[in-house]
Amino acid sequence: MVAVETREISKSFSRGRVQALSACSLQVPAGIIFTLLGPNGAGKTTLIKILTGLLHPDGGGARLLGAPLGDVSVRRRIGYLSENHRFPEFLTPNQVLFYFGRMAGLERADLSDKIPRLLRIVKLESWSNVKIRKFSKGMMQRLGLAHALVNDPELVFLDEPTDGIDPVGRREIRDLLIELRNRGVTLFINSHLLSEVERISDEVAILDRGVLLEKGRIDRFLSQDHQVQIRLAGEGDTLPQICAALEVPVSRTDDVFTITIADDQQLNRIIDEVRKAGALIRSITPSKISLEDYFIKVVEEGGEQK
């Protein structure tokens, strides 16, 4: 099932002078963590705002959980944490979740059970009756996350969910997002914290100046085609000699050899030769690059093409 489907969504501002989104089409399968990446001004927040009904697209359309964009009733099944949310400062976390939970269509009785549980999850239970004007940025972000989950949504849009949160808090939120994904919730995240994204995302899309440059499973992006890293136990020369004989390029960093192979058969032949030579293989892993490196490469290539 597809949770989010956009068809050629376009949006411009300042009477067409700023093109925020250009014919953006993507599909997000249900039950995954999907992250939209892009430099500042790429159009990430614009896309989320269109999907949550805050902005009207100039062209194109979208379906959320099978319902067309203008269908407000589907929002009962959707949660949203906006980038700069501003809850009324005179409210306490209990009151924030009560009022906005009611606006999400929940009954009073449901909320009396749900609010303490949500505040416990985001570690704000001891602050439940304190006015939020005293809250730090991180606490507000946790409250925003609780607000986004108050209606037990099937699809959650999170715009920079770990913004302003300390490393320990980020890890807790990461774990919470993974738990939600495991329960079948679809998470659509905007983030510029690439190391965070790399750890939790199933799929990513890269957006730059309103154009969708890449989209796909994160492991596909990060694995380097035909590059394999091999670690051998206490062996220095065997592998380079074998690679030289087979004309396979090899490089070495400490005890890790990186080889560039033509295909899987060549890799298996190298392994056979190494074992025949009596060397002990500790590990063989597909070579990966960091998401940051990949992101910069894609954005730079996209910029050059333009």
Judge contact between 303 and 208, C-beta under 8 A: yes
Distance from C-alpha of 225 to C-alpha of 205, rounded to nearest angstrom: 19
Answer yes or no whether residue 78 interacts with another protein by CB under 8 A.
Answer: yes
Answer yes or no whether residue 137 interacts with another protein by CB under 8 A.
Answer: no
Provide φ and ψ at 157, rounded to 5°: -100, 125
Answer yes or no whether residue 105 interacts with another protein by CB under 8 A.
Answer: yes
Rounded to a whole number of angstroms, the minimum distance from the CB of residue 111 to another protein is 11
Nearer Cβ to another protein, position 10 or 95? 95
- Of these, 66, 68, 88, 249, which contacts another protein (CB under 8 A)? 88
Judge contact between 148 and 142, C-beta under 8 A: no
Site string for another protein, 11-50 (x = CB under 8 A): --x-----------------------------------x-
Distance from C-alpha of 20 to C-alpha of 18, rounded to nearest angstrom: 6
Comparing CA positions, the residue from 22, 155, 156 lying closest to residue 81 is 156
Distance from C-alpha of 270 to C-alpha of 261, rounded to nearest angstrom: 9
Judge contact between 244 and 216, C-beta under 8 A: no
Nearer Cβ to another protein, position 91 or 267? 91
Nearer Cβ to another protein, position 91 or 193? 91
Rounded to a whole number of angstroms, the minimum distance from the CB of residue 98 to another protein is 9
Rounded to a whole number of angstroms, the minimum distance from the CB of residue 138 to another protein is 17
Q: How far apart are the first and last CA of the chain?
A: 34
Helices (H), the chain: 44-51, 93-103, 108-121, 137-148, 167-182, 194-200, 218-222, 238-246, 264-276, 291-305
Q: Any idea how long the chain is?
A: 306
Answer yes or no whether residue 183 interacts with another protein by CB under 8 A.
Answer: no
Helices (H), 8-123: 44-51, 93-103, 108-121
Q: Which stretch binds another protein (CB under 8 A): 36-44, 73-81, 254-262, 274-282?
A: 73-81
Rounded to a whole number of angstroms, the minimum distance from the CB of residue 99 to another protein is 5
Answer yes or no whether residue 132 interacts with another protein by CB under 8 A.
Answer: no
Judge contact between 58 and 11, C-beta under 8 A: yes
Q: Is 124 helix (H, G, I), strand (E, B) or coil?
A: coil
- Of these, 5, 39, 67, 85, which contacts another protein (CB under 8 A)? 85
- Of these, 6, 22, 52, 186, which contacts another protein (CB under 8 A)? 52
Nearer Cβ to another protein, position 38 or 144? 144
- Of these, 63, 75, 114, 181, which contacts another protein (CB under 8 A)? 75
Q: Which stretch binds another protein (CB under 8 A): 69-77, 213-221, 258-266, 286-294?
A: 69-77
Judge contact between 132 and 87, C-beta under 8 A: yes
Q: Which stretch binds another protein (CB under 8 A): 103-111, 173-181, 206-214, 265-273?
A: 103-111
Binding site for another protein (CB under 8 A): 13, 49, 52-56, 72-76, 78, 80, 82-88, 90-91, 95, 99-100, 102-105, 147
